[in-house]
Structure 1
Amino acid sequence: MKFLYNHLASLFLVMFLASCMSKPMPPTPPTTSNDITGKTWKLTEINGKPIALKNPKSNPYFSLNMKEMRYEGNGGCNGVGGTFEIKQEMMRIKFNQGMSTMMACDDLETEQLFTKALLAADNYSVNGNTLSLNKARMAPLAKFVLQK
């Protein structure tokens, strides 16, 4: 009887220790799909129309640096940059007038529309790898794809 008691006690101890060791891991916080910072976004559409570039290597893009609260990018020929404000939980954004280089380029129209869209945007939406910059509830000013 003593043997059975010791054996059962050992079995319960092993089961207890095993249950303590197999605690589920705490869930990892979900990644927010509205976090557009620290990524490079390449322009694909402006004012509802796909962009047509004379030089495909000159695709406009931008990225947001949260540490310095600055945006930087390229309009296709000239570098652009400045400060921005963002409220990710509300998906609101404001690009402040910044600086731009002033080189003469073949495709200044796309560059000007790109810069105008950045400065006019007051909110954004994300759908997968596509970012839309919007003004109020109107159609998107510009659409971007996540650059890999």
Structure 2
Amino acid sequence: MKRLYSYVALLFVAIMLFSCKSTTPPAQGSADITGKTWKLTELNGKPITLHNPKSNPYFSLNMTDMRYSGHGGCNGVGGTFEIKPEVMRIKFNQGMSTMIACEDLETERLFTQALLAADNYSVNGNTLSLNKAKMAPLAKFVLQE
């Protein structure tokens, strides 16, 4: 009988160990960037200047269909993406864009180039940086609320 109690106690401990969730906080800077809208603030180390401040470029990532969508300031942009959040790697695939002419086409062109060139990202608070290798950030974004 004593042996049966030992097995039951051991089984109980095993069940408790396997059913507990980890309470370890995520690694610093590994914040989830998906399902949020990111507004462009800087390109190639320089703050962006816009003819129309209401046309600020932005993008968001949808994990359901693995698509990104956004606005370059004048034209809509979108396509598919791949992400490995555990190592903060990202790849934006060439997608589509509308073709409306406007005053901020240079900013839009640089924004789109930054998306397509990025291969990793970093997060510091509410700021997202898209990077290429270990070079200076291609673009910086702030979480749009």
CA distance in 1, matches of 2:22, 2:95: 41
Residue pairs, 1:90-129, within 5 angstroms: 90-129=87-126
CA distance in 2, matches of 1:106, 1:38: 29
User: Cα deviations across residues 4-62 of structure 1 (Å, max 9, x unaligned)?
Assistant: xxxxxxxxxxxxxxxxxxxxxx7756366431000000000000000001100000000
Unaligned runs of 5+ in 2: 1-20
Give the superposed CA RMSD: 1.6
**Correspondence for 2:63 among 50, 54, 66:** 66
Distance 1:29 1:40, change over 3 A: farther
SS of residue in 2 equivalent to 1:111? helix
The runs of at least 4 aligned residues of structure 1 exceeding 3 Å deviation read 26-33
Residue pairs, 1:74-85, within 5 angstroms: 74-85=71-82
- Percent identity over the alignment? 83
Q: One-letter code of the match for 2:25?
A: P
Return the TM-score normalized by structure 1: 0.80
Q: Is 2:141 the partner of 1:144? A: yes
SS of residue in 1 equivalent to 2:123? strand
- Which residue of structure 1 aligns with residue 50 of structure 2? 53
Unaligned runs of 5+ in 1: 1-25
SS of residue in 2 equivalent to 1:138? coil
- Which residue of structure 2 aligns with residue 88 of structure 1? 85
Q: Is the 8 A contact 1:34 1:91 kept in 2?
A: no
* Higher CA-based Rg: 1
SS of residue in 1 equivalent to 2:130? strand
